[in-house]
Structure 1
Amino acid sequence: MADQGDPLARIADALERIAGGRAASPDWRAAPAYVWDAAGGRAVAALDAPRLELLKGIDAQRDAVAANVARLARGHAAHDMLLWGARGMGKSALVRASVVSAQESASAALALVQAGTDALETLPRLFAALGPVQRSFLVFIDDLGFSEEDSVGPRHLRSWLEGGVEARPTNVRLAVTANRRAIVPRQASEQDDPINPRDAVDDKLALADRFGLSLGFHNCSQDDYLAIVAAYCDEYGLDRDEADALEWARRRGARSGRTAWQYVVELAGRAGRAL
């Protein structure tokens, strides 16, 4: 390693980073959140998330995730989490909101690290960087899914979660969101194996079983949708009309937390307000 006290060495290091030879390593103790990709990590100055109280229609999931993240922040035993199910029902927002809530009492105790799905192969390098740091980290992989042909990715993830030589360190837990519980697509033909019809199915479900906390999210009812709209409108001082809110959802063919938020953005725009 070059002598970091040598000005020429520092210049050489900077030129190497500019040329793409080596990414600068962030200060893993300084920021509330980070982004990790194949090139390395970078700090995020502020973590944007709604207040936990605004996440309506997912009360049980909200309480479970927030409690688990709070344990991690305190250095207590905590689960890896799989949040699966309907799009737009607040899975990723809940992860971020839970981290922000935990940071309110001890900001230096916990950080969120969002890793892109294209950076999965580099996670062992991330784990090696985070392991020695005196801080807890929640590594967040949003909207994860593997193709039917990908047998390597799921096996790596199983290894990171439990028992492999590249398993994440004790101060790191994973939070993954996905559209399906099994993460990998399943076909009915998987059960037609004449030798052992459950092997293929069990192998894919075993990935979900590695998560200590697995929570399903489902499309919300009309009442839940209106409750989400009401909570956001009350938060931002916006007038609302239930019939208009329902028509907005009908035109989009979905009732979800995301649809409710988009309606609130529309209301703010109509009122000449910023959010």
Structure 2
Amino acid sequence: MKDERKQVIVRMKPELLEKLSALADREYRSVNGEIEYLVSQAVRTDGGSGAYPSEFFDGASAFIWDGEERELLPMRSTDPVRLTDLKRYEDEKAVVVKNTLAFLNGLPAQNVLLYGDRGTGKSSTVHAVLNEYAPRGLRLIEVKKKDIITLPRLMNAISDGGDKKFIIFIDDLTFVEGQDNYGELKAVLEGSALHLGNLLIYATTNRRHLIKETAEDRKNDMHESDLRQEQMSLSDRFGIVVTYLDPDKREFIDILRSILSDRGITLPEDELELRAERFCLEKGGRSPRGARQLADIIECETRDPAALS
């Protein structure tokens, strides 16, 4: 193995050798992870296909796509959330899990849009699904909105992924009318690459219409009609839309109680309700994220002060 790696490093392009010498300056990967990454890059450039070898995807379950550099970067740490950590939204989670299982089993599966207010658990659901099924070959690639225009290059980069299944994850997806990258996403969503069986797109948004209107758009009736058609056309490319609604007062208290119970903390019901209502008034709304934040505060208050010193 060492001899093989020597040969690979000898074949490295000069710019890769420069990267290797700058290992200590790269904060987002460990030294070993960086070396593995550069060796994979060497094999990739030597082959000339632009695709990462399947072994590259054994070293991590989640990656970030750098569209400018056209590189996949293994994520050193990911959100450890599990499906059981996500309180409420059982039906919503079940839809995402069922679709992901179909995907892993080679059955027809859909691109998924998770819509709802901030803090309702959309992104956490995607990460929890990854943590559940990474041992079965599921991999997640996070793509920033600015890099959507480079999605065809990403698809080529993962084309030799072997038996791995890839979810391209786009968080907080919205566009301003006139941006080029939403047209690129539309083309990818309806393109043949998604029918190869190893790739899906999961995206989250807090806007019902993915393309924002401007004041000028609303002044022009004909343009507004065209924009509405574009909004519907893009959303329709997602075969499944899962809606996450903010919890009401009782649901928020139930979520808070369940989180505290997981941590071995019990409060009198009247105190729990009072704390919950006061917190929501101060925050200006209710969400599962807020319930978890309040649970953190309560846990700090109830633990032995000596343990916090």
Bin of the TM-score, shorter chain as denominator length? 0.7 to 0.9
How many residues align? The count is 263
The one-letter code sitting in structure 1 at the alignment partner of 2:169 is F
Shift in Å, 1:156: 0.5
Structure 1 gaps of 5+ residues are none
Contact 1:54 1:231 in 2 (8 A): no
SS at match of 1:219: coil
Deviations 1:70-127 (A, max 9, x none): 2222232211011112111100001111222223xxx142111112223222222211
1:33 aligns with 2:35: no
| Separation in 2, partners of 1:138, 1:266 | 34
SS at match of 2:132: helix
Contact 2:218 2:224 in 1 (8 A): no
Q: 1:83 to 1:190 in 2, by over 3 A?
A: farther
Query: Which residue in 2 is equivalent to 1:260?
Result: 291
Query: Which residue in 2 is equivalent to 1:233?
Result: 260
Query: Which residue in 2 is equivalent to 1:153?
Result: 181
The two structures have a TM-score, normalised by structure 2, of 0.75
Query: Which residue in 2 is equivalent to 1:133?
Result: 161
Contact 2:144 2:170 in 1 (8 A): yes
> Following superposition of structure 1 onto structure 2, how do residues 215-254 of structure 1 map, counting pairs within 5 Å?
215-240=242-267, 241-254=272-285
Q: Which structure: larger Rg?
A: 2
Contact 1:28 1:130 in 2 (8 A): no
Contact 1:29 1:133 in 2 (8 A): no
Shift in Å, 1:17: 3.4
The one-letter code sitting in structure 2 at the alignment partner of 1:147 is V
**Identity of counterpart residues, as a percentage?**
25
| Separation in 2, partners of 1:132, 1:7 | 21
1:176 aligns with 2:203: yes
Q: 1:32 to 1:176 in 2, by over 3 A?
A: same
Of 221, 228, 236, the match for 1:192: 221
The two structures have a TM-score, normalised by structure 1, of 0.84
Shift in Å, 1:197: 6.7
> Following superposition of structure 1 onto structure 2, how do residues 56-95 of structure 1 map, counting pairs within 5 Å?
56-95=87-126
Q: 1:266 to 1:11 in 2, by over 3 A?
A: same
| Separation in 2, partners of 1:158, 1:78 | 18
Q: 1:97 to 1:6 in 2, by over 3 A?
A: closer
Of 136, 147, 151, the match for 1:123: 151
Shift in Å, 1:45: 5.0
Contact 2:106 2:197 in 1 (8 A): no
| Separation in 2, partners of 1:246, 1:238 | 19
Q: Which moved more, 1:248-257 or 1:33-42?
A: 33-42
| Separation in 2, partners of 1:88, 1:197 | 30
Contact 1:131 1:169 in 2 (8 A): no
Q: 1:12 to 1:213 in 2, by over 3 A?
A: same
Q: 1:205 to 1:41 in 2, by over 3 A?
A: same
| Separation in 1, partners of 2:248, 2:18 | 55
RMSD across aligned C-alpha pairs, in angstroms? 2.8
Contact 2:114 2:244 in 1 (8 A): yes
Q: 1:11 to 1:160 in 2, by over 3 A?
A: closer
Structure 2 gaps of 5+ residues are 23-36, 42-51
Shift in Å, 1:168: 7.4
Q: 1:178 to 1:7 in 2, by over 3 A?
A: closer
